[in-house]
Amino acid sequence: MPVSADLLRILDVNLNRAREALRVIEDYARFVRDDADAAAAAKNCRHDLRRIVQTCGADALLAARDILGDVGRETRTPAERHRDDLEAVVRAAFGRLTEAARGLAEYGKLLAPAAAEAAEQLRYAAYELEQRVVLRGTLRQRFRAVRLYVLLTEALCRHPWLATAEAVIRGGAQCLQLREKTVDGADLLRRARQLRALTRAHGVLLAINDRPDIARLCGADVLHVGQQDLPVADARHVAGAAVLVGKSTHTPEQFDAAAAEQPDYLAVGPMFDSATKPQPHVAGPETLAAVRPRTALPLVAIGGLTLANVGTVVAAGADAIAVCGAILSAADPETAARAFREAIDAAHARYRADTPEAPA
């Protein structure tokens, strides 16, 4: 039975809507958010659309297009002619994308079930990408600027833990992670809320280690999970879709598996032997260098970091450096944090000068 021209026209217009919306989204991720990871995800969606076009028949779709005969061509609403800001533009694009994907999924069933299934997968990918770009976009942009990421554990602090936290913020830490493995839930939540108030007052990101429930209850910006913790999707389900989720990795195989979970950043380590958290396996800077080309996500180097080896891990591809005992145990945590921050910034400046294409 010949394929209806009406069906081809419906499929064609929805494919066009989706493709155009994805270009708007990709440009926003690339030029407004400077988010290479999200821009690449939008580009991948465009590749998926091309496969749907091929399945439906590119020439048949093009031949069925009737621009002059389209009765909806000139139909406009007042709202379509105005956008308040750049975010309103991209939100509207996501609306067009998901609506077009739904249309493709429904009408595609009449022509090519494989295309319909691909369109349904595209729709869910769009929902996730919208959260990444719109809901977490600002936080992702802030996290990409993080250079010094301090892990806060009271047992390692020479001074009171909250005073130490304030000192390292003054010294230039841009993200503080509350990392207390043995504190009970009620006390951990109390500390998290205290640290939330402090970090919010100073414009610093707050991360919670392991506990998505605590991250949600205290209003944290970031949740960090390890290899033995919840998968990223489940952790995000508990913590809330607005919270960034990062994951620890120790080998290239773990890195690839974690990247497939779509976290907001990845940690790689340990870089060197660490007295704070001894590991049977030391990943080393060579592992970081090996995985750097595999993702546009921010990479955090962790484990055994000192002023002497910061430059090595930045050269290997680290965006941020996670430090614990070397700062917390210092007689003057503020001065120690400042020394690390200056060393990291200097290493990044050298790295960018030597390799202009390096991740910023």
DSSP helix/strand/coil, 200: helix
- Which of 43, 65, 193, 277 does the annotation list as catalytic? 277
Residues 323 and 180: their CA atoms lie apart, in Å, by 15
Residue in 96, 140, 144, 179 annotated catalytic: 179
For 200, phi then psi, to 5°, come to -65, -40
User: 359: cis peptide before it, omega within 30°?
Assistant: no
> Closest by alpha carbon to 302, among 313, 289, 317?
313
Query: Would residue 248 show up in a list of annotated catalytic residues for this protein?
Result: yes
Residue 173 token pair: 């830490």
Q: Please confirm, yes or no, whether 181 is among the known catalytic residues.
A: no
DSSP state of 134: I
Give, as one character, the DSSP assignment of residue 246: E
Q: Which of 248, 274, 338, 341 is catalytic?
A: 248
Q: How far apart are CA 300 and CA 360, in angstroms?
A: 13
**Would you call 277 a catalytic residue per the annotation?**
yes
Report the distance separating Cα 27 and Cα 243, nearest Å: 23
**What is the spatial distance between Cα 67 and Cα 311, in angstroms, rounded to a whole number?**
59
- C-alpha span between 10 and 68 (Å, rounded): 15
Residues labelled catalytic: 179, 248, 277
